[in-house]
Amino acid sequence: MYSSDTTKYLIHINLHAEGVVEKPDVVGAIFGQTEGLLGEDLDLRDLQRTGRIGRIDVHITSKKGETRGEILISSSLDRAETAILAASLETIDRVGPCIAHASVERIEDIRVTKRKKIVDRAKELLLNHFDEASIDSTELLDDVRESMRIEKIGVLGDERVPAGPNVLDSDAIIIVEGRADVINLLRYGIKNAVAVEGTKVPAVITKLSEIKTATAFLDGDRGGDLILRELLQVADIDYVAFCPRGKSVEEITRKEIIKSLRNKVPVEYLKEQIAEGKDSPAPEPEMPVQESQVIVSETNGAIEESVPQTPAVDGSMTLEQQIRGVEGQSVARFLTSDYALVGEVRAGDVEQALEKIDADVSGIILDRPVDQKLIDAFLSRGLEFVAAPEFRNIVKRPLSLRLMKIRKSDR
C-alpha cells in the first residue's frame, strides 16, 4: 500500500490526444505502453504494488475533438529512478484509438515544497500568533531593577506598615499613605519612606517622628488632607510636601516627586494657615521669601548645606559657580535643573527673553532685584528656582518656585 508520507517527488506530465478519450483510456495506455520497457525493477505495476509509486491522477478535458490535460504520478524512488520513470512516460504515442503526445513538464521535489510551506507558516506564526511582544532589553533591565527595589520593602512595628530599607538608619523619614507610594519612591531611589496604610496613624510612625526629621508627603486629594490633619495631631511632623492637586504619590513622575519634596514647607507655617481657618491644610501661595533656603556666605563664597549641590561633571558648573559668574555683571543666566547653562542675556532684558526660553530651562540667576511682577512672569513660564540679590514687595510667593537670595561674596 502506497503512503503519501513517503512521497519524495511528483511527476507532472502534459498530455495531448488527437481525439476524444477518457481517464481509463489514459491509465490503460500508461501501463500498457510502459510494460516491460524498463525491466522488472521499474515496472509500473510492481512499483505501485510495492508502494514505491502512488496512484496515477489524470485530469483531462475534451474540446473541439481534442483532449488535453495533465497526468500526476507521485514517487518515493530516488532521483535517478524517478527521472528514468518520467522519461519512459514520454514514449506514450497512442491513447485508445487516438494519436497522443506526452511530455514531462517538471518533476517537483515534494520535500522542498513542504519546507517552503513550513517556513511560510512559521513566519506567519512568528508575526501574528505569539502573545508576547518583542523583547526589549531595556524593559527587562527596568523590570529586574524594579523587582529588586520592591523586594527591599520591609515592615515595621506590630502594625507591619510598609517601609523602605533605609527608614531605621536614616536621620529623616518621608511619611506616605500606602505601599504603592513607597514602591514609587523606591523606583526613583528614595528609600526612607514609610506608609500610614489607612486613616489611623500607626504607633511606630508616631515614635519614628519623635526621633527623626519627618516629612509628610500625601496624595493631593481630600483623603490626603484628612490623614495630614491626623498626623499633625498625633505625630511630630517637621515638614509637609504637597503632591500635585488631584494626583497621588504612587502615580507621579520622578520630576514631580523631586519638585514636591524640594518645595516642602515647615509645619509651623502650615499650622498657622489652619489656625486662620483655611478649609484645606494645603497652604496658599502667600509665603514670604525664606532667605535661609539659599544663601551665599559673605565670608568665603560657599553655599550653605541647605542648598542642593550638583557636582561638576564633564566640565559643567555647580550652582555656586553659576552664581559667581553672574554676580556684579548685570546679566541673567537661564539654567537647566542640573545647573547647566542654557543662555545668558542682560539683566534688564529678562522679560523679553522669557518669551523665547525652551522647555529645558528650569531656573534663572540674575544680577538685579526681583519684584512680584517678575515672580509672576517666572511662574507663568514654569520655572522652578530663581536666584537674585534682592526680592522686593513679594506678597504672593508660589510654593512651586524656590526663591534663593544671594549675598555678596568677599572677593
Q: Where are the domains of the chain?
A: 9-111, 157-263, 319-405
CATH 3.30.70.60 applies to domain 157-263: no
The C-alpha atoms of residue 347 and residue 353 are separated, in whole angstroms, by: 10
Q: For the chain, what is the mean pLDDT? A: 80
Is a pLDDT exceeding 80 seen at residue 226?
yes
Q: List b or e across 36-69, with b for residues whose CB sees 16 or more CB atoms inside 10 angstroms.
A: eebeeebbbeebbeeebbbebebebeeeeeebeb
Q: pLDDT (tens digit, 9 = 90+) per residue, 76-110?
A: 899 899 999 999 999 999 998 899 999 999 998 88
CB 60 within 8 A of CB 67: yes
User: Distance between CA 237 and CA 227 in Å, rounded?
Assistant: 12
**The predicted structure's pLDDT at residue 16:** 94
- pLDDT exceeds 70 at position 193: yes
In one letter, which amino acid is 148? M
Residue 11's H or E segment, with its range, is strand 9-17
Nearest to 252 by CA among 214, 205, 217, 215: 217
Give the per-residue pLDDT at 144.
67
Instruction: Supply the pLDDT for residue 131.
Output: 64
Model confidence at 289, in pLDDT bands (50, 70, 90)? very low
Q: In a 3-state reduction of DSSP, which class is residue 235?
A: coil
Q: Sign of dihedral through CA atoms 71, 72, 77, 79?
A: positive
Higher pLDDT, 319 or 348: 348
Indicate the pLDDT class of residue 372, thresholds 50, 70 and 90.
confident
Name the CATH architecture for the domain at 9-111. 2-Layer Sandwich (3.30)
pTM over 0.85: no
Let me know how many helices (H) and strands (E) the chain has, helices first. 13, 17
Query: Does residue 15 carry a pLDDT above 90?
Result: yes
Q: Would you give the distance in Å from CA 164 to the centre of its chain? A: 25
Overall fold of domain 319-405: Cytidine Deaminase; domain 2 (3.40.140)
Find the mean pLDDT for residues 207-216: 91
Instruction: Report the 3 state secondary structure along 206-227.
Output: HHHHHHCEEEEEECCCHHHHHH
Q: What is the structure's pLDDT at 142?
A: 65
Query: Distance (Å, rounded) from C-alpha 260 to C-alpha 241?
Result: 6
Mean pLDDT of 246-254: 88
Q: What are phi and psi of 385, to 5 degrees?
A: -150, 150
Q: How far apart are CA 365 and CA 324, in angstroms?
A: 10
Check pLDDT > 50 for residue 308: no
Per-residue pLDDT of 120-164, as tens digits, reads 888 888 887 776 555 666 666 666 666 655 657 888 888 889 999
Name the one residue in this structure whose C-alpha cell is 529586574: 144
CA distances from 198 to 34, 176, 178, 180, 242 (A): 94, 10, 8, 13, 18
pLDDT band at 411 (very low <50, low <70, confident <90, very high): very low
Separation CA 159–CA 358 (nearest Å): 49
**Higher-confidence residue: 37 or 149?**
37
**Residue spans of alpha helices (H) in 163-212:** 179-187, 203-211
Pick the residue with more confidence: 296 or 273? 273
The answer to whether the CB of 343 falls within 8 A of the CB of 357 is yes
Residue range 277-300: average pLDDT? 39
